[in-house]
Structure 1
Amino acid sequence: MTTKQKVARRKLSLLELAQELSNVSRACRIMGYSRQQFYEIRRNYQTYGAEGLIDKLPGARGPHPNRVEPEVETAILEHSLAFPTHGPLRVAQELSLKGIQVSSGGVRGVWGRHSLVTKQERLLRLERSVAEQRIELSDEQIRLLERFSPEFRERHIETHHTGELVAVDTFFVGTLKGVGKVYLQSAIDCHSRYAWGRLYPNKLPVTAVHLLNTDVLPTFEAHGARVATVLSDNGREFCGRPDTHPYELFLQLEEIEHRTTAVRRPQSNGFVERLHKTLLDEHFRIKGRTKWYEGIDEMQKDLDGFMKDYNQTRPHQGRNMNGRTPYQAFVEGLPEPEKQSAAKRRNAA
């Protein structure tokens, strides 16, 4: 039995009790009704029978006879979405020019049913509608959004194993008296943070190739691994015509993919940029104040000592390093076949 049926039975019991007692007031006190309610219940029962005892919700008698047609209501809503600041009279006049006849009161009635009576409500509806649309952004718009997005600034380079991505860059160390200009060609494995560095008196494609060929690739070959991708900026020592540029030709020869960072976005090569800061703070600025150099070879000897300490004994506090040394992360990050072959070579040695 539904709630409405229970209420109808209680009303019928009220009528029966009043007839049995022949006292309306007493029956109302017993059943918890007022005399006014009793006479209203009796009138409905006498007029409609048992159906008159069932409570009916207001507005359940169907649509209002003066409500506008569905197609007119749709036209009003579409116009209000396109022009949310138009008032009801203006909307009625605009629609009449399109052959749709509706009064300003009819427009306001439609707005009332959809909670669009105020201008602010219609503007908020427009805002929600635009927010739900998917739009195509240009490259310039994407760059601007990424530039001011905190989520983009916190984005990190993701690598899964050693050698998946090696970042390279050129760093101007400075102009030393008696030595001249000094440039650092640097490279770092983005997975393990294992780094290489070599000093040169200039920055040319041949010096960038020399670092890869002399230091980086031999380290990977010694562990049975390979470099899959090199990430660099758009400097002339790294980028040029693929058929004539020495660095591009060398990467093609070694079957290494070459990626470049966005222009004027050094953050996209953050691993090697952070390496430069470490070298500057922990090595160059200290050695420059405690030792007099007479040549690049002497500087390279001290740099090799620091890089050995950096890679093998210095705990690294970088993301996902957990205090491991870069060499530990380098070996642990080798793909499984390369890791097994490297272990066999170490045991044989």
Structure 2
Amino acid sequence: MSHRNARLTVHGRRLLVERVRSGRPVAHVAAEMGVSRPTAHKWIGRWRSEGESGLIDRSSRPRSTPHRTAAATEAHVCRLRQDRKLGPARIGPILGLPASTVHRILVRYGLNRLTFLDRPTGQVIRRYERDRPGEMVHVDVKKLGRIPDGGGHTMGFDYVHSAVDDHSRLAYSEIHGDERADTCAGFLRRAAAFFAASGIDRIERVLTDNAWPYRKSFAWRQALADLGATGKLTRACRPQTNGKVERFNRTLLEEWAYLRPYTSNTERAEALADFLHAYNHHRCHTALGGQPPISRVNNAAGQYN
């Protein structure tokens, strides 16, 4: 694999081959490009035997690792991690392995973080992402204690209804005093209008948990029908399935609700619009390659138009 100080990229290797093919001496071309003659001969030899594919970087992984931990031992490490949720410091003494070795095994199998696992079953959570904006929207409600004027103890609850597009992570939220069926249905219609104004013309599926308004209410089913969308429910006790909006709820708390002390409920509610604008238009998202959600929507629009 190329390192950051490598003299030759794939383009440089191709240029080296072209210069040698033109009849120039290998030693002269190597000196011009700042590499040794053996290096130049290596890439020319690969090109002659493999063509263009021979100029591409190869993995530096060795063909064999004779000192690697036995497969049966690695399997035992994984079972202890998944069944008992033990960490390297506790698995190591049980199997007579250094904690560092246990950690490398867990990294190899994607088990090094407990957040990667479904806690009841110990199975690795399969991450997914829909192919285009609007293909699936996650909807959820977060309950927050209200703030009396002047601060103090909570006085009832606010219900923050949120919708997050699976592909772009574009988000929309509203604060309401309840989570009844009519409220949820009205929120979904306004969320769809927001997504349409942002470039997501149609919502195909809406994924929710198993709360009563999403399962039984006529108002919710009618809202889905009006939008031409299909309603989907998560499996019971599996919030990971609705993970896009669950993760957004955590960001909502950290970067809006609990960001600073608020002196009133009104002050906190007014700050929500600023948070949503920053989240959608300016906040970098690691799952989007450092782009904000609106950039993913715009990129997709250019791709499908």
The residue aligned with 1:167 is 138
The residue aligned with 1:177 is 148
2:212 paired residue among 209, 216, 236: 236
Kept after mapping to 1: 8 A contact 2:206/2:231: yes
The residue aligned with 2:230 is 257
Structure 2 gap ranges (5+): 1-117, 150-154
Distance 1:192 1:294, change over 3 A: closer
The residue aligned with 1:304 is 273
The residue identity in structure 2 corresponding to 1:332 is N
The residue identity in structure 1 corresponding to 2:298 is V
1:286 is paired with a residue of what secondary structure?
coil
The residue aligned with 1:212 is 188
Indicate yes or no: 2:286 matched with 1:317.
Answer: yes
Kept after mapping to 2: 8 A contact 1:187/1:216: no
2:125 paired residue among 144, 154, 168: 154
Q: Partners of 2:302 and 2:228 in 1: how far apart? A: 18
| 1:263-278 correspondence to structure 2 within 5 Å | 263-278=236-251
Indicate yes or no: 2:305 matched with 1:334.
Answer: no
Distance 1:334 1:146, change over 3 A: farther
Q: Partners of 2:222 and 2:188 in 1: how far apart? A: 13
Q: Partners of 1:154 and 1:304 in 2: how far apart? A: 33
- What is the TM-score with the length of structure 2 in the denominator? 0.55
Shift of 1:336: 4.6
1:279 paired residue among 252, 260, 265: 252
1:275 is paired with a residue of what secondary structure?
helix
Q: Partners of 1:222 and 1:277 in 2: how far apart? A: 23
2:129 is paired with a residue of what secondary structure?
coil
Kept after mapping to 2: 8 A contact 1:183/1:202: yes
Shift of 1:222: 5.3
Q: Partners of 2:243 and 2:297 in 1: how far apart? A: 19
CA RMSD of aligned residues (A): 2.2
1:299 is paired with a residue of what secondary structure?
helix
The residue identity in structure 1 corresponding to 2:293 is P
Distance 1:224 1:327, change over 3 A: closer
Shift of 1:231: 0.2
Shift of 1:218: 3.7
Q: Partners of 1:284 and 1:303 in 2: how far apart? A: 8
> Identity over the aligned pairs, expressed in percent?
26
Q: Partners of 1:218 and 1:184 in 2: how far apart? A: 16
Shift of 1:224: 6.1
Kept after mapping to 2: 8 A contact 1:185/1:207: no
Shift of 1:210: 2.1
Distance 1:148 1:224, change over 3 A: closer
Kept after mapping to 1: 8 A contact 2:188/2:223: no
Shift of 1:156: 1.2
| 1:56-75 correspondence to structure 2 within 5 Å | none
Distance 1:209 1:335, change over 3 A: farther
The residue aligned with 1:25 is none
Kept after mapping to 1: 8 A contact 2:257/2:268: no
Kept after mapping to 2: 8 A contact 1:186/1:198: yes
The residue aligned with 2:264 is 293
Distance 1:222 1:286, change over 3 A: closer
Shift of 1:174: 1.9
Distance 1:285 1:294, change over 3 A: closer
Distance 1:292 1:255, change over 3 A: same
2:173 paired residue among 190, 197, 222: 197
Kept after mapping to 1: 8 A contact 2:163/2:191: no
Q: Partners of 1:305 and 1:146 in 2: how far apart? A: 35
The residue aligned with 2:32 is none
Q: Partners of 2:200 and 2:286 in 1: how far apart? A: 27
